[in-house]
Amino acid sequence: MLKKLLSYIFPIRLYQATSETSKTIEVTMYNGELVLDSENTNYSYGSLQRVLRFGLKQIGFDTIRKMQNILVLGVAGGSVIKTLVDEIGCQGKITGVEIDENIIKIANTYFNLDKISNLEIVIDNAQQFVKSETQKYDLIIVDIFQDKEMPSFLFQKEFSDDLVTLLNDEGMILFNTMTTDKKEIERNEKYKLNYLHKKIDIIEYSGLEGSNHIFILKQKS
């Protein structure tokens, strides 16, 4: 209780470890809430949860509540999964793919991710997972960062094509990116060309929490 009260005055670090993919991982209590951060950015809860919640709200909570299969690429502390289950009331199966097994252990310990009965965690590289996966999904959430950097494969046409093959009819993709400079803005503009000849509607929102830029992609019926 004392730590929680003090966290309204200054952040209190509860856990810190090194990570091959994210340099440093910290669990911090801030304003009475736990957040998961890498060395230079928020990984789960905090501002990231607000960004992804905004994206989910644009899709529609009622729409998501009816979905039977949701894929989350990039789990980290599981904040978007908590939003899906605790706030939206999603009861369909959620599959979370995370490359870093240690971060899942942290998520289980501090955020009780392993208590979610309709969640299956797969430890795998997202690029390889989508290439070999055969299950179809109503919603795919892509939120993959290595500290503040995004792997280049996320923006390649091959990966975009693989994601589309995993969508059900009228399925959707929610893709969270960051644009902090001109190069990243140009990267995002080029990314949209991956869907130029596909039956995909693209909606985008920029400037979220400062530099987050999300895409919502929907299969046309």
- Alpha-helix runs per DSSP H in 60-181: 61-65, 79-82, 101-111, 126-132, 157-165
The total number of residues written for the chain in this structure: 221
pLDDT cut 90: percent of the chain above it = 64
pTM, two decimal places: 0.89
The CATH architecture one would assign to domain 46-219 is: 3-Layer(aba) Sandwich (3.40)
What are the pLDDT tens digits along the chain (221 aa)?
666 665 556 677 777 877 666 667 788 887 777 777 776 666 555 677 889 999 999 999 999 999 999 999 999 889 999 999 999 999 999 999 999 898 899 899 988 999 999 999 999 999 999 999 999 999 999 999 886 789 999 999 999 999 999 999 989 999 999 998 999 999 999 999 999 888 899 999 999 988 999 999 998 76
Q: How far is Cα 139 from Cα 201, in angstroms, rounded to an integer?
A: 14
Residue range 88-125, pLDDT digits in tens? 999 999 999 999 898 899 899 988 999 999 999 999 99
CA distances from 105 to 36, 75, 110, 207 (A): 13, 11, 9, 32
Q: Where are the domains of the chain?
A: 46-219
- Rounded to 5 degrees, what are φ and ψ at 204? -135, 150
